[in-house]
């Protein structure tokens, strides 16, 4: 068969596939319309209709998404079987339901990603197809076993489908990440399909495809465990809104729309953390010591009077002694329930104590019983008279108790000493008062206490989010707030489970939470699966993603964290709460940690939660930066950690890294010169220092906000505003970004301005520069006003010497 014939054959098949897809789409559309036209019926019928409507809508979305690049690969197996691989699975409507196209996630598609000449996986030939719309514009064949008439080409290490891969890697970047279904590499495939049902860590240097792998794993898990994950949802947490925007199209392009994408800034429903944070603040607020500080802050709101307080009930003056209130407080704390739930126990004790006095006042006017109650042998709570001589029967007493409980003055004192607290108010009150900070964080040095302080009314920062979440745990639901019936039923189930656990373990659930001993059962473990499922399928028009995203206590079926190295100790606690089953994929690179509260060892971060029961996988090939740029990155990495190994770049560089040393007043000219030279279809970014020195607002893209196209200079530190303007003038739409926002992104050409200033930002300056230098797919330019300092000049000279040696 000639190349021409082969293209014709594939062309015919593509036409058939697209026609079949269209048929299925029309069919699903008709079903959806029929469901939407029906109304009325029993609540059960309504709920069934809603779930069918959701199912058909998501099928429709998947079919529409599959249209582009539907068919991209073919495997000819050794036994003559032909497998065609594409974005979705399609069957013919003949009697046998013949398979026309295999979903890339199906087991039978796997050899397409794994086969090499060394291990052909039963395949004889792999074919990559390039298509535009209905047209096949190219095919590329690789023989995995020797063809009859030719030699077997040499295997290229671990790179599968090399020419298709290199072509994909060379394409201009659009500002949005694209899926990689056609060219997933073996080491990536093994992670995407990894069957481990616990915590899977994906460690890899810059550009190794960690983000791509995480997103494709989400799509794979949804395909393979559809039933389970459709109900419980998948959560993906990324470093900032710009990053989420960058990756937002990948899952829809794979036909998956039910995933909740969040940053830490909006992981706490109802709050958008847009406030600035200092580096010190980030560090202090991220540390595990905050748990004790927040507990102290809650306890500080559980009060007792200094002297006796008189409460008037139905014309009788009843007295509450400080000891009575303290005893009630002690009992309430002993329930080990969250503050707002323990309030009932506190109120009950207060009402009991007052009722006794009330009874005594009516039956024992001389006050003997009361004297007994507060005698040194008394229990501080009093005694309801002598049961041998009851003057009031049980009903009378109950009535008196009701009167005490209903009294406004009693409610007021309960409110004053054990108020209902809400996380947002409590945190704002704590952080805006130096006295309260000193009270709760007495052990901290003055600078750390000061790092916590913020003006009242200021927006919360990203570092505050885990504190709010922690407080929500410590405080519990507001019993006076509305909630859906399903939520209340769920809260009640959890409460009962917690009580059962308390009896089982003899210790408090909150204390278990403190160090989250993995061997200790959590409430979620004992809430029966059925109740969990009922909650997850609660009758509602909203999608799972909507419901899960709005519910702080939602138990996600799978949780994926990208750039997980940035999570502080406090943030890990939030993430773990969202994943009670601990089925997670954590993706990151401990050499890229730029947050002072981030991690430098997976073990340290994870062992408190899962001990050593987590699996480490590694990605070793760099698909983004070409060799020339990787060489600079490698030397920077050696400064961060001499033992770390760099990922191997798959592409040579087109142009060496440019080292430019303009006079300080010529920086804008040099930068604009560089970006003007870049072809218009290529994406360019100018990366500038965060300006995040102590006391400065540190760059977090906290606005949580949507589409960033067109407002690319958002977040530019003021010092670089003029540079941003100049860049915009010569090349509209150029991103001028602080380095912190470049995390996870990539551009064809990257200009890093003032790298020495980045390095000077302690303690993570080296990591920041390493991140910045590895954002480019084609060219890197370093622009240092006044000339490079010793570290970078040294790197430049070593590379130049290496080049001279190579050419000698």
As measured in angstroms, the least distance from the Cβ of 185 to ligand ATP is 5
Q: How far apart are CA 140 and CA 183, in angstroms?
A: 12
How large is the C-alpha radius of gyration of the chain? 32
Q: How far apart are the C-alpha atoms of 287 and 570, rounded to whole Å?
A: 6
Q: How far apart are CA 143 and CA 127, in angstroms?
A: 9
How far apart, in Å, are the Cα atoms of 371 and each of 313, 333, 363, 645?
20, 27, 14, 77
Burial (Cβ within 10 Å: 0-12, 13-18, ≥19) of residue 365:
exposed
Both structure tokens of 306: 């200094």
Helix (H) or strand (E) holding 280, with range, is helix 279-286
CB of 177 or CB of 294, closer to ligand ATP: 177
Nearer to ligand ATP, 471 or 650 (CB): 650
Residue number, 100 or 177, with CB nearest to ligand ATP: 177
Element (H, E) at 619: strand 614-619
In degrees and rounded to multiples of 5, residue 606 shows phi and psi of: -95, -30
206 is in an annotated binding site: yes
Q: At what angle do helices 529-536 and 485-505 cross, to 10 degrees?
A: 160
**Which residue's CB is nearer to ligand ATP, number 253 or number 278?**
253
- Nearer of residues 382 and 649 to ligand ATP, judged by Cβ: 649
207 vs 466 by CB, closer to ligand ATP: 207
Q: How far is the CB of 589 from ligand ATP (least distance, A)?
A: 5
Nearest residue (CB) to ligand ATP, 206 versus 281: 206
Residue 210 labelled as part of a binding site: yes
**Rounded to whole angstroms, what are the CA distances from 633 to 645, 646, 732, 760, 775?**
11, 8, 29, 18, 10
Name the site residues for ligand ATP (rule: CB under 6 A).
165, 168-169, 177, 180, 183-185, 188, 204, 206-212, 589, 623-624, 744, 746, 774
CA distance 393 to 361: 15
Nearer to ligand ATP (CB atom), residue 471 or residue 685: 685
Q: How far is the CB of 782 from ligand ATP (least distance, A)?
A: 18
- Tell whether residue 207 is among the known ligand binding residues: yes
The reply to whether 598 sits in an annotated binding site is no
**Rounded (5°) CA angle 686-691-696:** 150
DSSP-derived secondary structure letter, 271: -
Q: 592 or 716, CB closer to ligand ATP?
A: 592
CB of 472 to ligand ATP, least distance (A): 31
Tokens 């009630």 belong to 328
Closest approach of Cβ 634 to ligand ATP, in Å? 14
Closest distance of CB 184 from ligand ATP, Å: 5
Q: How far is CA 545 from CA 58, 228, 468, 536, 585, in A?
A: 12, 14, 22, 11, 18
Q: How far is the CB of 139 from ligand ATP (least distance, A)?
A: 18
CB of 162 to ligand ATP, least distance (A): 11
Q: How far is the CB of 612 from ligand ATP (least distance, A)?
A: 25
The span from the CA of 56 to the CA of 29, in Å, is 7
Give pairs for 715-722: CB < 8 Å, separation 24+: 715/242, 715/741, 716/688, 717/688, 717/689, 717/690, 717/691, 718/691, 719/688, 719/691, 720/688, 720/691, 720/753, 722/668
Question: Has 626 been labeled as part of a binding site?
Answer: no
- The answer to whether the beta carbons of residues 238 and 244 sit under 8 Å apart is yes
Q: Which residues are annotated as a binding site for ATP?
A: 204-211
- Specify binding-site residues: 204-211
């Amino acid at each position: 068969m000639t190349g021409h014939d082969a293209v014709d054959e594939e062309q015919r098949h593509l036409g058939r596939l697209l026609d079949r897809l269209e048929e299925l789409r029309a069919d699903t559309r008709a079903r959806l319309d029929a469901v939407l036209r029906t109304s009325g019926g029993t609540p059960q019928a309504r709920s069934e209709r809603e779930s069918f409507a959701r199912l058909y809508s998501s099928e429709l979305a998947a079919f529409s998404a599959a249209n582009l690049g539907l068919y991209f690969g073919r495997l000819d197996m050794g036994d003559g079987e032909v497998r065609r691989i594409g974005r979705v699975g399609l069957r013919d409507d003949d009697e046998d339901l013949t398979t026309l196209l295999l979903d890339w996630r199906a087991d039978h598609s796997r050899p397409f990603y794994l086969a090499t000449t060394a291990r052909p996986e039963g395949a004889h030939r792999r074919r990559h197809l390039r298509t535009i719309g209905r047209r096949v514009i190219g095919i590329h064949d690789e023989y995995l076993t020797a063809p009859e008439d030719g030699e077997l080409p040499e295997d290229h290490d671990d790179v599968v489908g090399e020419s298709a891969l290199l072509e994909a890697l060379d394409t201009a970047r659009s500002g949005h990440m694209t899926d990689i279904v056609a060219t997933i590499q073996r080491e990536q495939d093994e992670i995407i399909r990894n069957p481990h049902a616990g915590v899977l860590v994906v460690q890899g240097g810059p550009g190794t495809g960690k983000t791509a792998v995480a997103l494709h794993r989400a799509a794979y898990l949804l395909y393979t465990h559809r039933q389970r994950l459709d109900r419980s949802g998948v959560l993906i947490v990324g470093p900032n809104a710009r990053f989420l925007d960058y990756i937002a199209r990948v899952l829809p392009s794979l036909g998956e729309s039910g995933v909740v994408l969040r940053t830490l800034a909006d992981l706490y429903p109802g709050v958008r953390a847009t406030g600035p944070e200092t580096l010190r603040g980030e560090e202090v607020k991220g540390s595990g010591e905050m748990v004790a500080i927040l507990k102290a802050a809650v306890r500080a709101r559980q009060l007792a009077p200094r002297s006796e307080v008189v409460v008037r009930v139905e014309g009788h003056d009843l007295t509450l002694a400080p000891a009575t209130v303290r005893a009630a407080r002690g009992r309430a704390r002993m329930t080990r329930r969250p503050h707002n739930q323990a309030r009932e126990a506190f109120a009950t004790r207060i009402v009991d104590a007052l009722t006794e006095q009330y009874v005594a006042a009516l039956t024992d006017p001389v006050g003997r019983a009361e004297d007994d109650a507060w005698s040194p042998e008394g229990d501080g709570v009093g005694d309801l008279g002598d049961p041998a001589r009851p003057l009031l029967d049980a009903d009378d007493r109950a009535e008196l108790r009701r009167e005490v409980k209903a009294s406004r003055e009693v409610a007021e004192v309960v409110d004053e000493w054990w108020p209902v607290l809400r996380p947002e108010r409590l945190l704002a009150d704590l952080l805006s008062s130096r006295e309260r900070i000193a009270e709760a964080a007495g052990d901290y040095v003055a600078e750390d206490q000061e790092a916590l302080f913020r003006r009242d009314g200021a927006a919360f920062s990203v570092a505050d989010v885990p504190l709010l979440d922690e407080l929500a745990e410590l405080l519990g639901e507001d019993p006076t707030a509305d909630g859906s019936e399903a939520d209340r039923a769920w809260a009640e189930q959890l409460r009962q489970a917690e009580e059962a656990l308390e009896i089982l373990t003899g210790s408090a659930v909150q204390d278990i939470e403190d160090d989250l001993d993995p061997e200790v059962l959590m409430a979620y473990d004992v809430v029966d699966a059925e109740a969990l499922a009922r909650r997850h399928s609660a009758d509602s028009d909203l999608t799972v993603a909507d419901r899960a995203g709005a519910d702080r206590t939602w138990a996600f079926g799978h949780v994926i964290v990208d750039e997980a190295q940035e999570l502080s100790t406090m943030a890990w606690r939030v993430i773990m709460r969202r994943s009670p089953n601990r089925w997670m994929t954590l993706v990151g690179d401990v050499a890229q940690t730029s947050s002072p509260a981030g991690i430098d060892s997976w073990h340290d971060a994870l062992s408190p939660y899962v001990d050593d029961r987590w699996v480490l996988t590694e990605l070793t090939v760099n698909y983004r930066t070409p060799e020339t740029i990787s060489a600079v990155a490698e030397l920077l990495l050696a400064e961060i950690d001499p033992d770390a190994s760099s990922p191997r770049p798959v592409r040579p560089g087109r142009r060496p890294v440019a080292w430019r040393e303009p006079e300080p007043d010529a920086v804008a000219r040099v930068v604009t010169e560089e970006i003007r030279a870049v072809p218009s279809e290529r994406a360019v970014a100018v990366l500038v220092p965060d300006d995040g020195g102590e006391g400065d607002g540190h760059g977090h893209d906290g606005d949580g906000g949507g589409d960033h196209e067109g407002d690319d200079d958002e977040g530019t530190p003021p010092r670089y505003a003029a540079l941003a303007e100049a860049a915009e003038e010569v090349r509209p739409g150029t991103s001028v970004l602080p380095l912190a926002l470049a995390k996870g992104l990539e551009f064809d050409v990257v200009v890093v301005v003032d790298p020495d200033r980045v390095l000077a930002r302690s303690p993570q300056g080296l990591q920041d520069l390493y991140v910045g230098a590895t954002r480019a797919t084609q060219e890197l330019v370093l622009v240092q006003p006044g000339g490079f300092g010793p570290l970078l000049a040294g790197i430049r000279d070593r590379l130049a010497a290496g080049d001279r040696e190579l050419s000698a």
